[in-house]
Structure 1
Amino acid sequence: MNRRWTARLALVAGTAALVVLLLFAGLSSILLVAVGIVGVALAAAGIWWMLTHTGWIRLLAAVLTAAAPLVVLVLYTAAGLLWVVLLSIALWALAVSAGRAALVEDSAGMPERSVSPPERPFLIMNPRSGGGKVEKFHLVEKATALGVRVAVLDPDHPQDVAELARQAVREGADLLGVAGGDGTQALVAGVAAEHGLPFVVISAGTRNHFAMDLGLDRQDPAACLEALTDGVELRVDLGRICTDGPGRRSEERVFVNNASFGVYAAVVRSPAYRDDKAHTILTMLPDLLTHHSGARLRVRSESVNLDAPQAVLVSNNPYEKGDSAGLGRRGRLDSGRLGVLGIGVGNAAEATELLLRGRQGRGLTAASAREVVIDADVPVIPAGVDGESLMLPTPVRCRLDAGALRVRVPRNRPGVPHVKPPLDWGRVRRLALAMGRAAAGRDAG
């Protein structure tokens, strides 16, 4: 289906969603919509209270979060209009999906070029990453069979992975790679960029955000080894954190995903975070959000200035526009821009607005920049850099090194990302109607 007909489908489905409500519910449709909005607002408020309180208040908030949508469904059912609402929601979901599809550009992917297989590849593997994926998928044996030199880290004796990579370069390695978490990926990627060598990502970590945004198979890390035999090369950006204040030795660290400050960085710093991330977040968030006693942050860039945000996320390329928390994916890794997300909510109303409106909510600031400076009223602040906890002296300068990394990936990848444009109904309507008028003119001629 071409873009013209996809845009038309979006308009028809959106119109049908409204018509169904009006035709079968009449004036009650206004009440139906109002009840639905109230239900969503109550559920969102319940989520906020769960995050900002403990004990019996959190318990009551959990009940509210679960009960609000159930009560709405009961009211719809009692009125005999549940099927009307469900049909309208389904049509609206189709309209949104078709509208986004109509606006997707035809060439959204990152440019790639064919390359010859490496002659002396070197991989570092962390046997503990991802709950033991290196052993589970027999990555050492499979890589060795391809002629790869493999260094397996000893979990009981921490090693300097960047130095391991540099030593491999001195010994003639013509490709570097990592089977491990994003933090280890970043350290070795920095060495690869420093020497102009290609870099291979093996998705053996827990979350594998960098692998996801490269379109790699996160369910089967062994599939990533195909980059060594039938690979293509991408040029992607690297984020860099610099701490080079007056009277201080300049230090720099690479990040492939993001650097976080404020609330999230404090959670990452907790000793319990690695063993039980979800429980640690739920335990710490109430005090961090409502009784924030950490540093007062200040953010400066050419596009945005923030004073006292609760959380700041600086990412290597912006996250997709529908992602208001930096938890999703990036459509591109070669835009030459950092993504900046600042969150500052102080009550349930602001949190609800943020949940309902996303990037239009008052509690969220989203921007992009070439350089971002995070300062504070204290000399040292916690930071989470690709999930690794650090203490960094202020000010912290984040910048982007455009096209610095040569990434070798398999030619065929299951999750090649596509940029999802923001839904603009005006553009959808113009696309459908303008093309329709042009087609009618051709037919008449």
Structure 2
Amino acid sequence: MGRARLALLALVASVAVLLVAAGLRSVLWVLLGLAGPALAAVGLWWVLAHTGVLRVLGALVAVAAPTAVLVLFAVSGMLLPALLSLALWALASTTARTALGPARPPAARQRGRAAAEVPRAPWVLMNPRSGGGKVGRFHLVEKAEAAGCRVVLLDGGQDVARLARQAVAEGADLLAVAGGDGTQALVAEVAARHDVPFMVIPAGTRNHFALDLGLDREDPAGALDALAHGTEVRVDLGFAADRVFVNNASFGVYGFVVTDPAYRDAKAGTALRAMPALLTGEDAPRLRMRAGDVGVDGLQALLVSNNPYGRAVDAARPGRRERLDTGLLGVVCVRVANAAQAAGLARGPHAEGLIRLTAEQVVVTAGTDTDADMDMDMDTGTGTDTDAGTDPTLPAGIDGEHVVLPSPVVCRIEPGALRVRVPRRRRLRPSRAAATDWRKVTRLALGRTPGRP
């Protein structure tokens, strides 16, 4: 209750500062402040969707617009009040989230937890190239072998899933991976299918799955503590057709960008070269999505995640998931056709071109004809789109790995499918919510239970 009241007080103070400093003109200053991010979004759209002069102009607008706003605030003596107002708003927002947030670690990391017996025959697959050589840098092979693990090094030509299945057939009672999320997903599927515990060693570049499990990505060797001092949790697994994903499946722009072999070594440059054709070209790919009663077409990008992320951003930095056991997919749709809609993205989660929802199943197809017929095999998650105007295949990024799936693609979630062994001591911090519910904060500040009259 105390934090909720502090949040409301800081919110009121952030408005009062501007009113005291500029009176009724404060409304104009607020509008000017909002114009900077909106124009920057327009400039960014020109950078992504065009080449040549428009791209250069877009870069200039993206930098100059917020800079010009700051200069105007400074020469008018409003910079200090504006910064103070922003600081109070940040305090209000942060305090409100903590007031509404869980008082203990998220339920996803508690439910199903059990004291785990020490595995007798743990098996670990390690990718020595992953994460810029983390396996060698952190001496993971030696430390895993000292802990009693059988270690197999990935040389790039092996079938990862086949190696994991062979390990189970030979008696492995725990499967682990030291590598990126794509490799984690392949072995996790085998572990789930055979009901064998799975262990994550964050030796990849980003390791979002490890982050949401509470593992320290800067200390990959610390994950080995789970062998002797571990607990077990059950988490969900996502499926895109017959492919498992532990984090997300991306379709549309990102799905096409990752098809370029140069993307892995030069992500930014490759994306900038491909974006204009993908966003505004005559043959720019479009998607349609159906989740329950909700259908959306003309999408440029679609992110389907194993449980919803706390905020909506790009596939490379999709934020945090507070839970991994909700039994729901997170869905983020992006549809931006012009500079005006790009400017609207400055509104954040409430932008018209941004759609967020959760669902147990999502059907993704290429094209924009919402009346196309779909024949689907719900067991395999694949199907045939009888609309001759659509592409029978659909590129996708599955946990950052390029795949091509038959269209339509059925994405689904399998609740509690994976047993994950984790250290007893982890950093369990909830993710930031996408937006603050100020009605709940107000009710809490007034001493009422949120959600009750």
TM norm structure 1: 0.91
Q: Matched residues in 2 for 1:294 and 1:380: separation?
A: 15
Please give the secondary structure, in 1, of the residue aligned with 2:261.
coil
2:404 pairs, out of 377, 383, 391, with 391
Hey, what does 2:130 align to over in structure 1?
129
1:321-372 per-residue CA deviation (whole Å, 9 max, x = no partner) reads x325452121111000111122111011111112x22232111221111111
197-206 or 67-76: which moved more? 67-76
Deviation at 1:213, TM superposition (A): 1.1
Please give the secondary structure, in 1, of the residue aligned with 2:120.
coil
5+ long unaligned stretches in structure 1? 243-251, 437-445
1:350 pairs with 2:341: yes
2:97 pairs, out of 95, 100, 117, with 100
1:283 pairs with 2:273: yes
Percent pairwise identity: 57
* Alpha-carbon contact 2:395-2:403 (below 8 Å) kept: yes
1:7 pairs with 2:4: yes
Hey, what does 2:447 align to over in structure 1?
434
Please give the secondary structure, in 2, of the residue aligned with 1:330.
coil
What letter is aligned with 1:360? H
Q: Matched residues in 1 for 2:48 and 2:2: separation?
A: 44
Paired residues for 1:62-141 under 5 Å: 62-107=59-104, 108-110=106-108, 111=110, 112-141=113-142
What letter is aligned with 1:365? I
Hey, what does 1:247 align to over in structure 2?
none
Q: Matched residues in 2 for 1:253 and 1:378: separation?
A: 19
Hey, what does 1:425 align to over in structure 2?
438
What letter is aligned with 1:349? A
Deviation at 1:5, TM superposition (A): 0.7
Deviation at 1:44, TM superposition (A): 1.6
Hey, what does 1:178 align to over in structure 2?
177
Paired residues for 1:315-334 under 5 Å: 315-320=305-310, 322-325=311-314, 327-334=318-325
Hey, what does 1:189 align to over in structure 2?
188
Alignment RMSD (CA, Å)? 1.7
Hey, what does 1:166 align to over in structure 2?
165
Q: Matched residues in 1 for 2:225 and 2:30: separation?
A: 51
Q: Matched residues in 2 for 1:12 and 1:266: separation?
A: 47
Q: Matched residues in 1 for 2:400 and 2:293: separation?
A: 26
Hey, what does 1:304 align to over in structure 2?
294
Hey, what does 2:386 align to over in structure 1?
none
Q: Matched residues in 2 for 1:292 and 1:189: separation?
A: 40
Q: Matched residues in 1 for 2:278 and 2:448: separation?
A: 52
* Alpha-carbon contact 2:237-2:245 (below 8 Å) kept: yes
Hey, what does 2:372 align to over in structure 1?
none
What letter is aligned with 2:440? R
What letter is aligned with 2:184? Q
Q: Matched residues in 2 for 1:16 and 1:104: separation?
A: 23
> What count of residue pairs does the alignment treat as equivalent?
420
Deviation at 1:114, TM superposition (A): 1.9
Deviation at 1:416, TM superposition (A): 4.0
Q: Matched residues in 2 for 1:293 and 1:421: separation?
A: 33
Q: Summarize the Cα distance change of 1:85–1:422 in structure 2 as closer, same or farther, 3 Å threshold.
A: closer
Q: Summarize the Cα distance change of 1:361–1:135 in structure 2 as closer, same or farther, 3 Å threshold.
A: same
Deviation at 1:402, TM superposition (A): 0.7
Please give the secondary structure, in 2, of the residue aligned with 1:434.
coil
Hey, what does 2:421 align to over in structure 1?
408
Hey, what does 1:265 align to over in structure 2?
255
1:205-237 per-residue CA deviation (whole Å, 9 max, x = no partner) reads 111111111111111111111111111111000
Q: Matched residues in 1 for 2:432 and 2:95: separation?
A: 15
Q: Summarize the Cα distance change of 1:431–1:15 in structure 2 as closer, same or farther, 3 Å threshold.
A: same
424-433 or 191-200: which moved more? 424-433
Deviation at 1:410, TM superposition (A): 1.0
1:41 pairs with 2:31: no
5+ long unaligned stretches in structure 2? 367-389
